[in-house]
Amino acid sequence: MCFGFILSFSSVKLSLLFLTLFSSQARDLTVEPEKRKSTITSVASYILQAKGTLGFWTFVYVACEFLNLLFVLLNVYVTDLFLGAFSTYGLKVLAYMDQDSELRTDPLATVFPKMTKCIFHLFGPSGNVMRFDALCIMPLNILNEKIFVFLYFWYVLDRKSVV
């Protein structure tokens, strides 16, 4: 995204290069061979002429990739502060899936419990407040645990693509 933003302020030549490169004439094999060859030749000649002059764009691209990596690591750190154990969350889920179903403990339930104790205060027949203890099901936590498992693996894939 960072590179795309900076690219929007770049010269017209770079955008014309991409338009020429990804045009239907350059990709379509049914177009006349002369037109296709001239399109590819013009792009190749521009690249050869510009060789050694695109150091600034290389620096911008590397800086944007570094910022992407920094933001992914910052997201993992902040989510880890919020949830408590997000940095190892996906690994625990994978280990949980491999264990025997009778012996395993759900790592998702430690972060997102599905049931909890609820205390209800209701007025009784005599007008006094009565206290009832019950088990409450929290269906939103079932959805939240799936979302955060997806986010964990999304961050892992994003880190791998940046590095």
Q: Residue 141: name the closest of 163, 118, 110 by CA.
A: 110
Count of C-beta atoms within a 10 Å radius of residue 89: 24
Of 99 and 143, the one with more pLDDT: 143
Task: For residue 123, tell me if it sits in a domain.
Answer: yes
Task: For residue 70, tell me if it sits in a domain.
Answer: no
- Bridge partners (DSSP) of residue 116 are 136
Number of domains in the chain: 1
Query: What is the domain range of residue 135?
Result: 83-163
25-44: average pLDDT: 68
> 157: pLDDT confidence band, cut at 50, 70 and 90?
confident
Task: For residue 9, tell me if it sits in a domain.
Answer: no
Task: For residue 139, tell me if it sits in a domain.
Answer: yes
DSSP letters spanning 2-33: HHHHHHHTS-HHHHHHHHHHTSHHHH-TTS-H
Convert the pLDDT of each residue in 59-115 to its tens digit: 887 888 888 888 888 988 888 888 777 777 778 888 877 777 777 777 777 778 888
pTM passes above 0.85: no
**Alpha carbon distance 6, 97 (integer Å):** 44
Task: For residue 88, tell me if it sits in a domain.
Answer: yes
**Long-range contacts (CB closer than 8 Å, 24 or more residues apart) made by 37-42:** none
